[in-house]
Amino acid sequence: MSDAVKHTRAGRRFRMQGYQLDEHPRAVMAVLLFVVLAAYAFIDTFLTPGSGYLGTPPYWLFALSGAAAGGGTFFWLYRGAVPRSEAAGVAALVAIAWAGAFYPGWLRINEAGGGEYLHHSYRLEAGLTLHPADTALPLLSAPLDAEYWRAQAVGGQWDIEIRQGWSGQWMYRRQSLQDRIDAYYARAAFMEGILQGQPGPGRN
């Protein structure tokens, strides 16, 4: 083998090992997609009022959609001359972000159709689980704030607004529950402030 060929192959290996993602527009677009998906997942899950899952979310669907997105991203990058290892790493990030974004996204999709919110009676049981009066409905496990439900009396009745989306997915209205939770903590903070401001025994 000539020295020129050896030098060319060695140079190619060096460039592949030192590959920078920003050297290829497809890699840049995939990284931007990851950032957008991750930001959406965080904002829509934790900062945006809306619906919450009633019963167990379809985790298998999130995983399947993430795997499909990751696989498609890998082949798109690899066909665009992005090295295999870098393509696999970026595709894995996209798969995780896609699955995470599909968690709130599936609720948004189901909100596009199906029935309206209706009021149903739920009873708080041991284990921080709300059981519906209508046994055909799903259970609801300590929604939004477990500490709040620990402070509530077992056996108490709760009015929960629920609906069924177009795919059959059951959802509950988060905002109405969040308002009650916020009001509870506001009252607790107010009472604590009053008690702390009262003079103790033997004080004027």
> Structure pTM?
0.76
* Model pLDDT for residues 28-37, shown as the tens digit of each residue: 999 999 999 9
Of 142, 127, 186, nearest to 52 (Cα)? 142
Place 11 in a pLDDT band, splitting at 50, 70 and 90: very low
d(CA 5, CA 2): 5
Residue 48 near residue 103 (C-beta atoms within 8 A): no
d(CA 53, CA 167): 13
The DSSP call for residue 23 is G
- Across 4-13, 126-135, 188-197, which has the greatest mean pLDDT? 126-135
Residue 186 predicted with pLDDT over 80: yes
Range 188-192 average pLDDT = 80
In this prediction, residue 77 carries a pLDDT of 93
What is the rounded average pLDDT for all residues in the chain? 84
- Selected residue with higher pLDDT from 97 and 143: 97
Range 73-100 average pLDDT = 93
Helix or strand run (H / E) with residue 140: strand 140-141
Range 63-79 average pLDDT = 95
- Selected residue with higher pLDDT from 9 and 194: 194
d(CA 21, CA 28): 6
Residue 182 predicted with pLDDT over 80: yes
Range 24-53 average pLDDT = 91
In this prediction, residue 169 carries a pLDDT of 92
Residue 96 predicted with pLDDT over 60: yes
d(CA 124, CA 131): 6
Strands 118-125 and 157-164: antiparallel
Rounded to 10 degrees, the C-alpha dihedral 108/112/114/116 comes to: 80
In this prediction, residue 105 carries a pLDDT of 95
DSSP-H helix ranges across the chain: 3-17, 25-42, 59-79, 84-111, 146-150, 174-197
Place 175 in a pLDDT band, splitting at 50, 70 and 90: confident
| Rg of the Cα atoms in the chain | 26
d(CA 145, CA 46): 12
Angle between helices 84-111 and 59-79 (to 10 degrees): 140
Place 10 in a pLDDT band, splitting at 50, 70 and 90: very low
d(CA 70, CA 89): 10
Angle between helices 25-42 and 84-111 (to 10 degrees): 40
